[in-house]
Structure 1
Amino acid sequence: MNSPYVNEEPAEHRRFARHLKALEAVAEVSEAELVAAVLRDEDAAMANSAVLRHLDRRAAGLLAGPRFTAWAQALAEVIARRGFLTLRLREWTLLHTIALGGPWDAESLTGASDWLQRRVTSTDEITSVEALRVLATQARTRRVRHAASVRLRHAGRLD
């Protein structure tokens, strides 16, 4: 019986929760295969959202570590046809490069999304004075410019 008064969670909500739970528990060796399976779900928006949450959680955990690059390369192959997921992984890779003091350019940072610019100013692993200086003067939003300036002041590096 279909009744508007029955408080039943929609099927896609249940699948979303199952996907998140499976992605959280997956072994690293099976991760790419599971991500690909989730992306085959009939509800593409829901699948992308589940994978995005997983990608953000895993990338944050691996950010300053040595396994990030191999993980990102493996995931890049699986999400290659998903524009937003590819962009987010590319931005996590830029964040990883900045966190490790690798080579990056100001144009990549100033051309990145507001999400990435906010992340640079709020992530403890990012200690790059150069990145904070770029954002203090060239970030797209006043919020990010302010946050970068505050971090520079606290570091005693506002020149």
Structure 2
Amino acid sequence: MNVHDIPQNADEHVRFAAYLDKLQLVADVDEVDLVRRVLTDPDQTMARSAVLRHLDRRAAAFHAGPAYEGWARAMTQATIDHPFLAQRLREWSLFRAVTLKLPWQPDDLLASSNWLQLKTAAGTNTEAIEILAEAGRTKRIRNTAKTSLNHRSES
């Protein structure tokens, strides 16, 4: 069963749930093709939302492992015409670099979305947390970073 088995006249909520199911069960070799096919849905907002949820789930599961880089390149190609999805993949790569203490630039973190700044503020990289405690985009990000730093000093 593939996305072409989902009736395009079905309610977008039905299609969204079906896409999520298919994306969760897709074999690695078929993932790029399935993502591309989901992104052909006429309801682009719904389709991008389903793919975003898939990207977040997959990236969270293996961003720390060696398979991440190849997967991220493949997903970047699959989402190239969807700037928000491509941006999320770039931010997952930055989160990976920060988390694994690979090379990264503070300016890239400060220019990133609230989503990434908040995720990083609650993370484990002291340098990144200190930067966000001082210069995070929102009060919530700065406070989350300060709380993370306080918990570290109490441990």
Fold similarity call, TM over 0.5:
yes
Q: 2:129 aligns with which of 127, 132, 135?
A: 132
Q: Provide the rounded CA distance (Å) in 2 between the counterparts of 1:11 and 1:156.
A: 51
Residue 12 of structure 1, CA deviation:
1.4
Match of 1:152 in 2: 149
Q: Provide the rounded CA distance (Å) in 2 between the counterparts of 1:143 and 1:43.
A: 33
- Give the secondary structure class of the aligned counterpart of 1:155: helix
- Give the secondary structure class of the aligned counterpart of 2:153: coil
What's the Cα RMSD here?
1.3
After TM superposition, what 4+ stretches of structure 1 lie above 6 angstroms from structure 2?
Answer: none
TM-score, with structure 2 as normaliser: 0.89
Residue 46 (str. 1) matches residue 15 (str. 2) = no
Cα displacement string for residues 88-134 of structure 1 (whole angstroms, at most 9, x for unaligned residues): 11111100111111111111011111111011123xxx321110010
Count of residues in Structure 1 that have an aligned counterpart in Structure 2: 145
Match of 1:5 in 2: none
TM-score, with structure 1 as normaliser: 0.87
Gaps of 5+ in 2: 1-9
Residue 26 of structure 1, CA deviation:
0.6
Gaps of 5+ in 1: 1-9
The alignment-based identity, stated in percent, is: 45
Match of 2:4 in 1: none
Q: Provide the rounded CA distance (Å) in 1 between the counterparts of 2:146 and 2:11.
A: 46
Residue 137 of structure 1, CA deviation:
0.2
Greater Rg by CA: 1
